Chain A
Amino acid sequence: MTRTVRYVVFGLGATGIGLLGVFAILKIPAFGASSHPYRDASIPAAVKHATSNVISSINFDQRGLDTLGEESIFLASVLVISVILRPAGHETERRELSEGRPLDSTVLGGLVFLPIVLIIGLDVITHGHLTPGGGFQGGVILGTGIHLLYVAGTYRMFEKVRPVRPFEWTEAIAAGAFACLGISGVLVGASFLANVVPQGVFGDLFSAGTVPLLNGVVGVEVASGVVVLISKFLEQALTVRSDSGNPQGNGHTSRETKTPDGQHP
């Protein structure tokens, strides 16, 4: 189809659905209205299980099955990225990178902020049932925070500190642990993903039963998964080369190297 035809088809379609959309929006309950039946039911339910953060209660307690699906999506996506970005065909990973040195200020900034970011990440994960945050959010902070070491150092040094294989294992183990925690609910006689751990006092650190446990498990999974994900992209950009010695063009960072042997096609 030519571009013009494509625009015409899209335009007709968008006009049609847009008209319906406008009429539909005019019938939506007014913005900011106060009738929210689900909220009225879920807040007492969260209080009953001593969870101060109602959103975490919904995510891990009331609608935990959704979160099981969500963390499986995360696992599947990281798997897909590992599969897609693997060295394939006539490619291998080259290890001889000649990299420059980052600026001293960058090194200082990275090393100062690294422990701060890691502590923030751990705090967000462990207090997921009390404050905004939780496993997913804290996991992303942790997973990306570790890469301050890459920014503040060289890739080779970073690779020594961050071997990918253990992170793949922790991700898989944590993902499986979530499902196993759910099954353990069945084994003790309650329901799947039921909140069977003692729930403590509302507002305490040790409250809300299984919610902080699931938060922790998800935090480990997401942190490891993010590390694996970024590692695949970094490998693809920095180290994977075709056997003829040619870098097959993409993503040159400022510390990208020339081809290792100086070969030409």
Chain B
Amino acid sequence: MLSFDNATAMLAPIAVAIPIVMACVLLVAGRRLPRLAVDVVALATALAMVSLLAYLLVAAASGRIVTWAAGWTPHHGYSVGIVLVVDPLGAGIALLACSLTAIAFLFSVRYLDAVEAHYHCLMLLFLAGMVGLALTGDLFDMFVFFELMGAAAYGLTAIVVEDESALQGGINFGIVNSLGAYLSLTGLGLLFARTGSVGLPQLHTELAHHRPDALIVAAFVLVLTGFLVKGAMVPFHFWLADAHAVAPAPVCLLFSGVMVPLGIYAAFRIYWTVFAPVLPLGDVRRTFLVLGAVTAVLGAVMALSQRHFKRLLAYSTIAHVGLFLVALACLSVGGTAGALIYVAGHAGVKGALFLIAGVMLARYGSVDEYDLYGAGNGQKAMGVLLIIGALGLAGLPPFGTALGKALSEDAASAAGYGWVPVLFVAVSALTGGAVLRVAGRVYFALGPMPVERSPMRARGNEDEEPRLLHVPWTMIAPILVLLAGGLIVGLLPGAHSVANRAAATFIDSAGYSHQALYKLPEGIVAPTASNWTGVGLGLGFVSAVLACCVALAGLYGRRLAEKWPVLREAYGPLNLLHRLHSGHVGDYVAWMMMGLAVLAGFIGLPLR
């Protein structure tokens, strides 16, 4: 369906404008209206966005929707305007953003102090930034919406100013992500110098007949860095644990569920449309396979050794981001489809886990695993939900995470990387096991009482709400919805073929460019989609069982350490790793520079 001029095409920029307008309305009216009215208006806006983007997704399924904003349609393949290209994957991730925002609004009704509707306005502006980033097809526009997301996110992280750790997390987040964004802008400048355009379709056309040289490699490294900082790839990941540990739970839901995957999405969108014709496939694949694997392992190991539950979940997000990277690094339709489904399933499961952490904080005033030993003894139902979430994180079929893993493992094995399934199983078992261990300690009082209980509670926004005696339905329903969502992604019969088609459209960069510039219809032939395989199902069950073993080892492990002193040898490197995550912004910037050099080496040295 060619949609240059018709009404559906108009919906894409309107989807960006609506949250901005409603944020302004709430800002003016918020002081007069009662809190409930503000919540209802915000929730209604988010639900309206959900339906708008669902419509766009369905419309995009039959072909990309191209909109040249302000009517500057291209002549002879050139235009001065900004293009919005809605393809199924972009619309899908924007829909995910709107859904999670709606769920976060529902959870926030009884959860935090809204500061005169400022919280709701910031969330709506955050949503506008996310939708804009997902739908736009212009590199400078991506930078602008990326900064909009950032500005709102820094504020949402530090919103509880009484908590000093929230402020430190907020400023670390702010400085590191802003520096990344400015590096991206530098890369954009280099691309503009070479090609004279900043739109993705035009960049594709211009770069397609160039040989890769130092300028293009530098532009690639710099442009992707900003988005990979947001996407928390090692060694750009340090800010994530700080920000997630201190931000309010509904905000963490958005961060882990969709903001971090958006960074990865943007990086790969830019790679496919601009750099895929120019840079050698093998070099890029190797770069992201290695860096993704390192990210996954580091995240899993750090998660396992945390006692602050939200920080544990943050590191598990890093671990799963590493797995997304490995899946996307296969640079194939199957890998991208697997990553897409994995992101959707992970958003549901991880979001539910963060909201449960929020309930723990509201109920018990802490999220420290050792301090809360046995604290949840009367609320076994919440413990069961936590266990279900943990098993979803570990990749138990039929969760969406399991389907995503199965598809990704399939794609990686087909590409010849047999170690990838092992990595996937190990990382998901470790992260799922860590959460299971927390569930066991807090809600079922398993294992011996930990001796290192600290008088100083783990910081986690203690002032978000005075102790809740009875968890309201506005806090339980979102958890159930998210877990159900994670399940549905895996159970839905058409999910794998939709994802496959979305992935094929995503990878087809020539089609993206030609359709945007010349109105040519697309002729995408998606390869046959793989679905649940026997191997995939089996590996999923294996991960879940391994996760239980990891949890039991964590709960009863003291005796293991006594039996096998060799385990103590691991403490040295582990402590070193913990010391590296120091909370000091200077360290983070130093590692960012190192990361730039590593990327430059991976891509540049083979081309020398």
State the A residues within 8 Å of B (CB).
1, 6-7, 9-10, 12-17, 19-21, 23-24, 26-29, 35-38, 41-42, 45, 58, 61-66, 68-70, 72-73, 75-77, 79-80, 82-84, 86, 88-89, 168-169, 172-173, 175-176, 179-180, 182-183, 185-186, 190-195
Give the total of B residues in contact with A, Cβ under 8 Å: 80
Complex Cα distance A15/B592, Å?
A: 13
**Do A66 and B140 form a contact, CB below 8 Å, given A16-B596, A20-B218, A83-B159?**
yes
**Do A65 and B70 form a contact, CB below 8 Å, given A9-B593, A84-B161?**
yes
Nearest A residue to B589 via CB reads A10
Complex Cα distance A10/B579, Å?
A: 17
Residues from chain A with a CB closer than 8 A to the CB of B161 are 83-84, 86, 88-89
Nearest-Cβ distance from residue B28 to partner chain A, whole angstroms: 5
Q: From residue 54 to 73 of chain B, which have CB atoms closer than 8 A to chain A?
A: 67-72
Complex Cα distance A180/B286, Å?
A: 47
Residues from chain B with a CB closer than 8 A to the CB of A69 are 129, 132, 141, 144-145, 147-148
Nearest-Cβ distance from residue A102 to partner chain B, whole angstroms: 32
* B118 at interface, CB cutoff 8 A: yes
* B465 at interface, CB cutoff 8 A: no
Residues from chain A with a CB closer than 8 A to the CB of B147 are 69, 73
Complex Cα distance A245/B598, Å?
A: 53
Nearest-Cβ distance from residue B131 to partner chain A, whole angstroms: 11
* B215 at interface, CB cutoff 8 A: yes
Complex Cα distance A190/B67, Å?
A: 12
Looking at chain B's contact residues, is the secondary structure mostly helix, strand, loop, or mixed? helix
- A80–B155 touching, CB < 8 Å: yes
Complex Cα distance A183/B82, Å?
A: 16
| B60-95 near A? 1/0 per residue, CB < 8 Å | 000000011111100000111110100000000000
* B122 at interface, CB cutoff 8 A: yes
Residues from chain A with a CB closer than 8 A to the CB of B158 are 80, 84
* B128 at interface, CB cutoff 8 A: yes
Complex Cα distance A35/B213, Å?
A: 20
- A9–B80 touching, CB < 8 Å: no
Residues from chain B with a CB closer than 8 A to the CB of A195 are 70
- A62–B70 touching, CB < 8 Å: yes
* B194 at interface, CB cutoff 8 A: yes
26 pairs from A and B in contact (CB 8 Å cutoff): A14-B593, A15-B597, A17-B597, A20-B217, A21-B218, A27-B213, A29-B194, A35-B196, A37-B197, A65-B136, A72-B125, A72-B129, A72-B148, A82-B118, A83-B115, A83-B118, A84-B158, A88-B162, A172-B25, A175-B20, A179-B21, A180-B21, A183-B17, A186-B10, A191-B69, A192-B17
Contact of A76 among B79, B152, B580 (CB under 8 A): B152
Residues from chain A with a CB closer than 8 A to the CB of B68 are 191
Nearest B residue to A1 via CB reads B587
Contact of A62 among B17, B21, B81, B132 (CB under 8 A): B81
Residues from chain A with a CB closer than 8 A to the CB of B28 are 169, 172-173
18 additional A-B pairs beyond A1-B590, A61-B70, A84-B155, beta carbons within 8 Å, are A16-B600, A17-B600, A24-B214, A27-B213, A28-B194, A37-B196, A58-B80, A63-B141, A64-B69, A76-B122, A79-B121, A82-B118, A83-B159, A84-B158, A88-B162, A169-B28, A172-B25, A175-B24
Residues from chain B with a CB closer than 8 A to the CB of A21 are 218
Nearest B residue to A172 via CB reads B27
- A80–B152 touching, CB < 8 Å: yes
